[in-house]
Structure 1
Amino acid sequence: MNDDSRICVGAIGGAFGVHGEVRLKSFTSEPEAIADYAPLTSEDGSRSFDVQIVREIAQGFAVRLSGVRTKEDADALKGVQLYAPRARLPQLPDDEFYHADLIGLEVRDTGGALLGRVRAVQNNGADDLLEVTVPGSSATVLLPFTQAAVPTVDLTKGRIVADPPMGLFD
């Protein structure tokens, strides 16, 4: 389990307009709730922002961030990921997980054989996919993060039990 006390809740997509607003993609389950977790910080913690949602736009929100006044300020933040303290985020139901908690977990098949470790969590628009690094190789496998393919996530033991589709790890 990742013991980081901060969770990535969004990413800045660059300037929106000419008055210092930015495009913000929210990674929270209720996208507009991202403003409730402010102030948000950059990954290295060097910058902190209050967030005011101005309006919903395609694939996110136009927002005002404290300290960002010009289009140039906003453009300079393109690609910056924003983090909130875990303590400010809601407790999740038993069958939901923060991506940060899944990264680094060992993945074993139902027989106990090591399949790899979770390198990243990706979203293809329908279901999340676990990017699993294969031991002894630079290859990765995309494992569907569904109840059928991943019946057990045990954060306490730091592992996932997977029943991958036939041939996925061959």
Structure 2
Amino acid sequence: MNVNDQVRRLEVDPRTSLLDALREQLRMSGTKKGCDHGQCGACTVLINGRRVNSCLTLAVMHEDDEIVTIEGLGDPDHLGPIQRAFVERDGFQCGYCTPGQICSAVGMLAEVAAGWPSHATADVSAPRITLTDEEIRERMSGNICRCAAYPNIVAAIRDSAEGGPR
């Protein structure tokens, strides 16, 4: 499988989740196991540019897919734009959900750029989606933060979408 632009060869039991393959076989600990039931979003990764809960998909299903984890979005010396915004806006407390939040935010911003409406989109016929705080909250609702850092997470995503802090 292709993980963070590197082809990785794995032999896995067909029942192995992508999450477990990433963490246990590839030793990529950035993607977190929160609930292991697809309810918290801590394990969110990008598969072919779309956000996916890696605990709900089997590793064998992604042989030819491009998988991006938090490790593929930047590193401590070269943070990606959303990672930088999370740091600047203090969009984390304990940090456990942060990798999933950031991967989900990257995917969510791509959905907005592609013009995909959400339940909170005020005008689905508009040529461009206005990324309000309500819109961000709706689109990120699958990612739970047990520390309740939501205002800072929303601010970080808004800043990243707008090109910097307000």
TM-score normalised per structure 1: 0.23
Greater relative CO, 1 or 2 (CA 8 Å, sep 6+): 2
Instruction: Flag the structure with higher helix content.
Output: 2
Larger relative strand fraction: 1
